């Protein structure tokens, strides 16, 4: 069969001179199977609202992107595709009210929390915070923030702030919040002072709540079942005194 490249090609400018007819025309690289599946999954999620099919499509593509390490341009591109597939999968799980599975679902593709992409981790924090279960991501985000490799990323500061606002402070983890803001170079001095003031205010609120709880507990103990026998005996004694008084009134009066 005659080659498609046998016919002379028109000269192309801007590529280091005209292209000789003996040189093959370089076609754009075909998209990888993972990219095709990513586009299909996004279409199922956004256009067709078929969340189950979108999730299954992501799960078909993700195993082919396992054990990737950043370095070459092709590896970095594959890591971006993997991250995008996880974001589509997270959204699909949330739409199906399976948001509790999100964290374990993404970790099966990244093995350890420290390797989670910032975009994926941010989405997890926002999701669990919105569902009022920030404690589910506490250990994962803490591990990610403590990793030295992540501390050089441009997204580190934003994630640290998000962790403070959406996880640590709502959970009352004030000591952990203080350690994070003091030990992290991602905060400016002004931000550090603002956060420390917020932590101090939260600590005072905790103290007032604890004192109020102790007062309420003390009152409950004073009226606890252990004091009921004494109250019963007191009531019985009062009842007997009343009977004695009434019996005095019923005694016959002698001249």
* 83 and 157 fall within a common domain: no
Instruction: Write the secondary structure of 153-218 as one string of H (helix), E (strand) and C (coil).
Output: CCCHHHHHHHHHHHHHHHHCCHHHHHHHHHHCCCCCHHHHHHHHHHHHHHHHHHHHHHHHHHHHHH
* 186 and 137 fall within a common domain: yes
Q: Is residue 248 part of a domain?
A: no
* 127 and 202 fall within a common domain: yes
Q: What is the pLDDT of residue 47?
A: 97
Q: How many domains does the chain contain in total? A: 2
CB distance 198 to 162 below 8 Å: no
Residues with pLDDT less than 50, the chain: 1-29, 253-255
* 130 and 81 fall within a common domain: no
* 104 and 133 fall within a common domain: no
Q: Is residue 22 part of a domain?
A: no
> How far from 149 is each of 43, 88, 145, CA to CA, in Å?
34, 26, 9
DSSP state of 67: S
Instruction: State how far the Cα of 50 lies from the Cα of 243, in Å rounded to an integer.
Output: 80
> How far from 108 is each of 93, 101, 113, 221, CA to CA, in Å?
15, 11, 10, 49
Domain extent at residue 58: 32-68+76-111
* 87 and 137 fall within a common domain: no
pLDDT digits (tens, 9 = 90+) for 32-76: 899 999 999 999 999 999 999 999 999 999 998 977 766 667 778
* 63 and 98 fall within a common domain: yes
Residue with tokens 């000269």: 11
State pTM to two decimals: 0.70
Helix, coil or strand: residue 111: coil
Q: Is residue 208 part of a domain?
A: yes
Q: Which of 163, 24, 154, 41 is nearest to 90 (CA)?
A: 41
Instruction: State how far the Cα of 181 lies from the Cα of 185, in Å rounded to an integer.
Output: 8
Q: Is residue 176 part of a domain?
A: yes
Instruction: State how far the Cα of 143 lies from the Cα of 114, in Å rounded to an integer.
Output: 6
Q: Is residue 245 part of a domain?
A: no
* 59 and 125 fall within a common domain: no
């Amino acid at each position: 069969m005659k080659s498609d490249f046998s016919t002379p090609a028109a000269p192309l400018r801007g590529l280091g001179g005209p292209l000789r007819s003996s040189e093959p025309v370089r076609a754009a690289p075909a998209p990888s199977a993972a990219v095709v599946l990513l586009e299909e999954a996004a279409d199922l999620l956004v256009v067709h609202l078929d969340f189950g099919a979108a999730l299954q499509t992501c799960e078909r593509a993700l195993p082919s992107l396992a054990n990737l390490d950043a370095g070459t341009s092709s590896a970095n591109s594959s890591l971006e595709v993997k991250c995008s597939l996880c974001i589509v999968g997270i959204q699909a799980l949330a739409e199906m009210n399976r948001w509790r599975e999100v964290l374990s679902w993404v970790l099966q593709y990244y093995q350890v929390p420290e390797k989670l992409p910032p975009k994926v981790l941010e989405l997890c924090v926002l999701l669990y915070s919105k569902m009022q279960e920030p404690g589910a991501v506490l250990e994962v985000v803490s591990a990610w923030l403590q990793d030295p490799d992540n501390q050089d990323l441009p997204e580190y500061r934003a994630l640290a702030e998000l962790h403070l606002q959406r996880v640590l402070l709502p959970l009352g983890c004030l000591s952990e919040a203080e350690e994070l803001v003091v030990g992290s170079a991602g905060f400016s001095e002004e931000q550090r002072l603002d956060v420390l003031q917020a932590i101090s205010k939260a600590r005072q609120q905790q103290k007032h709540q604890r004192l109020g709880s102790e007062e309420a507990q003390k009152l409950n103990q004073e009226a606890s079942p252990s004091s009921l026998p004494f109250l019963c005996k007191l009531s019985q004694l009062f009842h007997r005194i009343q009977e004695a008084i009434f019996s005095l009134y019923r005694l016959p009066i002698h001249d």
